[in-house]
């Protein structure tokens, strides 16, 4: 008998790291004296990880941490580019839609590929007619 791995703790860690990433993106400079928390940016960057949290019970096997790591890496690269390397006050508004669009794409592919990973495909699970 093979022992199944429980990837949910790794998924919870990915959501927690996404929260830190959203906090880093939402703390914007306020002149030269401090930082301001932008709640819209916080929600926009946190949204992919909230959507990922909905899939924690649906995805099984390596698709759960794999899709989370892809989502975390994609958003980390985007936030690093927008906030730290090319910061212009988020004037181009990409920070509001790119993280959610990437989450929809990654999670749709992961759900499509990973939802039936534990189910046999021989038709044995279908109800008789």
Q: What is the pLDDT, as a whole number, of residue 3? A: 75
118 pLDDT tier (thresholds 50, 70, 90):
low
Spatial CA neighbour of 24 closest among 40, 45, 49, 10: 45
Most confident of 32-36, 68-72, 109-113: 68-72
% pLDDT > 70, the chain: 87
Q: Is the pLDDT of residue 116 over 80?
A: no
Q: What is the pLDDT, as a whole number, of residue 31? A: 84
Q: What is the pLDDT, as a whole number, of residue 9? A: 92
On the 0-12 / 13-18 / 19+ scale of CB atoms within 10 A, 17 is middle
What is the mean pLDDT of the segment spanning 1-20? 89
Q: Render pLDDT for 54-73 as a digit per residue (tens, 0 to 9).
A: 988 888 889 999 999 999 99
Rounded Cα distance between 19 and 45, Å, is 8
Q: Is the pLDDT of residue 129 over 70?
A: no
* This model's pTM is above 0.95: no
Beta-strand runs (E) in the chain: 27-30, 34-37
Q: What is the pLDDT, as a whole number, of residue 13? A: 96
Average pLDDT, the chain: 87
């Amino acid at each position: 008998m093979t022992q199944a791995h429980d990837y949910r703790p790794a998924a919870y860690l990915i959501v927690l790291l996404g929260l830190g990433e959203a906090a880093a993106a939402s703390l914007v400079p306020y002149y030269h004296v401090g930082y301001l928390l932008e709640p819209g940016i916080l929600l926009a960057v946190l949204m992919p990880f909230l959507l990922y949290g909905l899939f924690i019970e649906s995805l099984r096997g390596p698709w759960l941490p794999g899709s989370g790591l892809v989502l975390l890496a994609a958003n980390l690269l985007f936030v690093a580019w927008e906030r730290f390397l090319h910061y212009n006050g988020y004037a181009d508004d990409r920070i509001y839609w790119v993280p959610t669009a990437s989450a929809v794409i990654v999670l749709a592919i992961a759900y499509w590929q990973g939802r039936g990973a534990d189910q046999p495909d021989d038709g044995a699970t279908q109800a008789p007619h």
